[in-house]
Amino acid sequence: MSQLALPLKLQDHAVFESFWPAGNDALVAYLRELVAGGTAAGCWLWGQASTGKTHLLQAVCARLGSASIYLPLRELVDTSPELLEGLASRACICVDDIDAAAGRPGWEIGLFRLWNAAVEAGSMLVVAAVAPPRECGFELPDLLSRLGHLPAFHLLPLGEDERPRALQLRASHRGLELPDETARYLLKRSRRDMTSLYELLDRLDSEALKAQRRLTIPFVRDVIGAHAGC
C-alpha cells in the first residue's frame, strides 16, 4: 500500500530559539540533548492547551530535518492507522495529541506496532498529550505499558510576567521589535492564551510588512480594530 499523504508542513517559527522556556528549562535542555545525539528512547510531554507542546515537537523536527517526522494525530485519526507503517525508519517520530488515539482499537494497535518497530530500529518517539499516559484513556494494556516507560515532562504555562517576554522573543525571531508598552497593550486587548497571542503577532507582522510600520500602540490598535470590524 502506498503511504497516505500527511499534512506535515512545519510552522516556520517553531524552533528552539523562539521558545521561551520559563519553568520548562529541564524539558528544553532534555530535547536539545536528544536531538544532539542523545541515546534516550524519547519522552512524553503533557500539559494544557497553549503551553507549547506542538512548538517543541516541531522544533525537534526542524532540528533533525528529514531524519524526523511530525504527526498531528488529532488531524489524522479519521484516516487509516496504516499510515504509521514504515515510519520507524526515521530517527525520530514526533506524535502530537497522541491521546486522540485513545479508545480507537485500530490506532492503539498501530501505535503499539510503531513502538515495537521504533525500538527495534533504535528510533526515538517524542509524543505530546494533555495528560500523563495513564490518564489518557488508552485501552490496550501493552501500549499503555510501553508508553509508561517514556520519561514524562509536565509543560507549565507561562506566568503573567513571562508572557510579554515570550511575545518579544517570538517577534525578535521574526525580525520585529516589540516594545514593552506594545507587548503590555496586546495582553490587555486580546485573548490571553499564548496561541491566540502568537496568531495576533503573526497578523501584525504581515500588516506591518505591508504598511512598512513599526509595532507602535496606535498601529496595533488600528489593526485590531480593523480585524474586529471584519
Three cell numbers written together for 112: 503499539
Domain ranges across the chain: 16-154, 163-228
**C-alpha 17 chain-centroid distance:** 14
CA distance 100 to 106: 12
User: Cα-atom radius of gyration of the chain, to the nearest Å?
Assistant: 19
Helix (H) or strand (E) holding 189: helix 180-189
CATH number at 16-154: 3.40.50.300
- For the whole model, what pTM was predicted? 0.89
- Give the pLDDT confidence score for residue 192 in this predicted structure: 73
Q: CATH for 163-228?
A: 1.10.8.60
Query: 76-113 pLDDT, tens per residue?
Result: 999 999 999 999 999 999 999 999 999 999 999 999 99
- Helix/strand/coil for 94: strand
Look at the block and give the residue holding cell 522544533.
59
The whole-number pLDDT of residue 62 equals 94
Residue-wise pLDDT tens digits, 186-228: 988 877 788 888 888 989 989 998 999 999 999 999 988 876 6
Mean pLDDT of the chain: 90
3-state helix, strand, coil in the chain (%, to 5): 55, 10, 35
- Report which of 153, 187, 199, 171 is spatially closest to residue 29, judged by C-alpha positions: 153
Q: Are 14 and 174 in contact (CB under 8 A)?
A: no
3-class DSSP assignment, residue 52: coil
Residue type for 55, please? H
CA–CA distance, 221 with 223 (Å, rounded to integer): 6
* Cα gap 110→90, rounded to integer Å: 16
Q: How confident is the model at residue 3 (pLDDT cuts 50, 70, 90)?
A: very low
Give the helix ranges, DSSP H, for 36-78: 53-64, 73-76
pLDDT tens-digit readout, 44-57: 999 999 899 999 99
If you ran DSSP here, which 8-state letter would residue 164 be given?
H
